[in-house]
Amino acid sequence: NILVLDYGSQYTQLIARRVRELKVHSEILPWDAPVETILSRHPKGIILSGGPASATAPGAPTIDGRLLDGSVPVLGICYGMQLLAHVLGGKVRKGASAEYGASVVRVTAAGNPLLRGLPATFQAWMSHWDEVAAVPTGFSVHAESESGAPAAFSGRDGKVLALQFHPEVVHTEGGLDVLRNFLFDVCRCEESWNLSGWVDQMTSEIAAKVGGDRVVCGLSGGVDSTVAAVLTSRAVGDRLECIFVNNGLLRKDEARSVLDLYREKLKLKVHYVDASQTFLSRLEGVVEPERKRKIIGETFVRVFEAKAAEIGGAQWLLQGTLYPDVIESGFKGKGASVIKTHHNVGGLPDDIAFGLLEPLRDLFKDEVRAIGALMDVPGAILGRHPFPGPGLAVRCLGEVSPGRLDVLREADAIFAEEIVAAGLYDRMWQAFCVLLPVRTVGVMGDVRTYAEAVVLRAVHSQDGMTADWVRLSPELLDRVSRRICNEVEGVNRVVLDVTSKPPATIEWE
């Protein structure tokens, strides 16, 4: 087991994922986790992530010296490196300029186990302002960056190591080799993390935990809830009662196709609740995005609870919580500002009368997809673009009326169809339409129109945290625009969103 201590880097989760890609289990803890907690995990190695702070600033995140006695190998990356230099008596100072992006690292001395097998110079990803001016006494520098500052040092019998660059980022040549060297040569880890073993083990764990009880779960059509349900049904069979709520905010034909798939292909026991009317009447006249999200979240909870009570007799609630959710709610929430209230199917309050089953809470999204594939969950679900819990409500700007939802549904279906036909669906994170509450003048035939506008939004992203807009071809855009204006009544203008995230978000509300 490798522990990653999080100092606030945007790459912390990536470090943990890369370790797992190398078949070693990894876990993330906040940098200020008590030493006892850290040692109770019996880590074979500890990785200190990067972070936005300056190691020398008063009150900067630090590390307990007891972790640096050389009994457990420690690797500091970026901020982690500066921190090690600082606490072990070296010198850290503000560099002449920030180093950001791809940069050349030159190996200056042999003997660093991390750099074994790497060429004498290689491209590496940097993202820092501070630099190490002097390494601690007894430590050796093995590589330097373009500015001449240390890019790699080690000491304490090779048990404390540091890198200024980010081996976890794909732009670092040989980055995975560096991590491999750390895991297998320095920490002496064994390849023991594999997903098919995980499926068998988790299936028996669920079976043991649930015993003869019954389990309820909410299905959304998305990857997480589906994989959680398929896994659990392996363990408890038809004592898993799935609930699929149609909130009236789904895409064209979505309820029917998802339901068919669940029942026919995946053989899940699904209770279908069409609560469209309830949701839509509560949303009547509501335009404020956060109010929409709140109403939908609360309504979902009520509808779900009512159905679960009607089914009766369930002692367990299954949720598709993933590791990033656990990390975020565990320690990222502190002081972070709420950009949008996210909610997922099954986002239930604290006082629920069920035991909670969260079999996926140690997994990253790509691992959940891999597990889904191992259990024959169809590609149509595993490869689906993310769809927000509040559904089309947050893409139907202004009032969410049945008529406007239908307009949005038709336009969205056309865009999706053309994206699929062009073979682009699997090559982007999301593509969807947004309906604006803005009417503009147009002319169709000889008739003046005064109708609403549709936005095309297509983005590339790794994890939804940042995104860039997709450069769709003019031909494709032209086809989609013509089709929407011709085929969808109520739309006379199509526009393209060319904003990345940040500064925008992916969804419009």
Tokens 């597990």 correspond to 371
Q: Is 166 a catalytic residue?
A: yes
Spatial neighbors of 135 by CB under 8 A, at least 6 apart, are 85, 90, 141, 150, 153, 155
* Catalytic residue of the set 168, 241, 452, 507: 168
220 annotated ligand-binding residue: yes
Binding mask of the shown chain, residues 76 to 95, with x at each position contacting ligand XMP by CB under 6 A: --------------------
> Among 308, 162, 149, 322, which residue's Cα sits nearest to residue 240?
308
Residue 157 is labelled as binding a ligand: no
Q: Which residues pair with 162 in a beta bridge?
A: 76, 153
Residue 113 or 464 with smaller CB distance to ligand XMP: 464
Q: Can 78 be counted among the known catalytic residues?
A: yes
Give least dist CB 102 to ligand XMP, A.
26
Q: Residue 78 forms beta bridges with which residues?
A: none
Taking CB under 6 A as the rule, does residue 506 contact ligand XMP? yes
CB of 459 to ligand XMP, least distance (A): 8
Q: Does 136 bind ligand XMP (CB under 6 A)?
A: no
Is residue 292 at the binding interface for ligand XMP, with CB under 6 A as the rule? no
**Is residue 389 part of the contact set for ligand XMP (CB under 6 A)?**
yes
Residue 232 annotated as part of some ligand binding site: no
Nearer to ligand XMP, 155 or 388 (CB): 388
- The residue count for binding ligand XMP (CB under 6 A) is 14
Convert 395-419 into a string of H (helix), E (strand) and C (coil): CECCCCCHHHHHHHHHHHHHHHHHH
- How many C-beta neighbours within 10 Å does residue 156 have? 17
Q: Which of residues 466-505 bind ligand XMP (CB under 6 A)?
A: 501, 505
Q: Does 464 interact with ligand XMP (rule: CB under 6 A)?
A: yes
Q: Is 290 buried (19+), middle (13-18) or exposed (0-12) by CB count in 10 A?
A: exposed
Task: Look at residue 280 and give its three-state secondary structure.
Answer: helix
DSSP 394: G
CA distance to 132, 273, 305, 314, per residue, from 258 (Å): 55, 13, 21, 24
Shortest Cβ 438–ligand XMP spacing (Å)? 20
User: Which residue in 86, 128, 166, 343 is the catalytic one?
Assistant: 166
Distance from the Cα of residue 159 to its chain's centroid: 32
Name which of residues 328 to 357 contact ligand XMP (CB under 6 A).
340, 342-344
What phi, psi does 364 have (nearest 5°)?
A: -90, 160
Q: Nearer to ligand XMP by C-beta: 349 or 474? A: 349
Dump the DSSP string for 352-365.
-SSEEE-TTTT--H
**Cα(117)–Cα(113) distance, integer angstroms:** 9
In the region spanning residues 397 to 436, those forming contacts with ligand XMP, defined by CB under 6 A, are: 430
At its nearest, how many Å lie between ligand XMP and the CB of residue 281? 21
Q: Is 388 one of the binding residues for ligand XMP (CB under 6 A)?
A: yes
Instruction: Return the number of the residue (235 or 455) whose C-beta is nearest ligand XMP.
Output: 455
Element housing 429 (H / E): none
Q: Which is nearer to ligand XMP, 185 or 358 (CB)?
A: 358
- Give the single-character DSSP code of 262: I
Kindly report the number of other CB atoms within 10 A of residue 245's CB atom. Answer: 24
Output the CA–CA distances (angstroms, integers) from residue 292 to 285, 453, 474, in the order listed.
10, 21, 35
Q: What is the nearest approach in angstroms of ligand XMP to the Cβ of residue 338?
A: 11
Give the shortest CB-391-to-ligand XMP separation in angstroms.
9
Q: How many CA atoms lie within 13 A of 398 on its CB side?
A: 15
Rank residues 91 and 340 by Cβ distance to ligand XMP and give the closer one. 340
Confirm whether residue 368 is marked as ligand binding: no
Query: What's the min distance (Å) between Cβ of 290 and ligand XMP?
Result: 11
Rounded Cα distance between 353 and 11, Å, is 37
Neighbours of 148 (CB within 10 A): 10
Q: Among residues 390, 392, 395, 481, which is the contact residue for ligand XMP, using CB under 6 A?
A: 390
CA–CA distance, 176 with 56 (Å, rounded to integer)? 30
Which SS3 state, helix, strand or coil, does residue 329 take? Answer: helix
137, 153 contact by CB (below 8 A): no
Which residues within the stretch 357-386 sit at the binding site for ligand XMP (CB under 6 A)?
386
Q: Is 222 annotated as contributing to ligand binding?
A: yes
User: What is the per-residue DSSP string for 40-63?
Assistant: HT--SEEEE---SS-TTSTT----
- Minimal distance, residue 430 CB to ligand XMP, in Å: 6
Q: How far is CA 163 from the centre of its chain?
A: 26
Q: Which is nearer to ligand XMP, 426 or 487 (CB)?
A: 426
- Residues in the site for ligand XMP, rule: CB under 6 A? 340, 342-344, 386, 388-390, 430, 464, 501, 505-507
Catalytically active residues, by annotation: 78, 166, 168
Indicate the annotated binding residues. 220-226
Indicate the annotated binding residues for ATP. 220-226
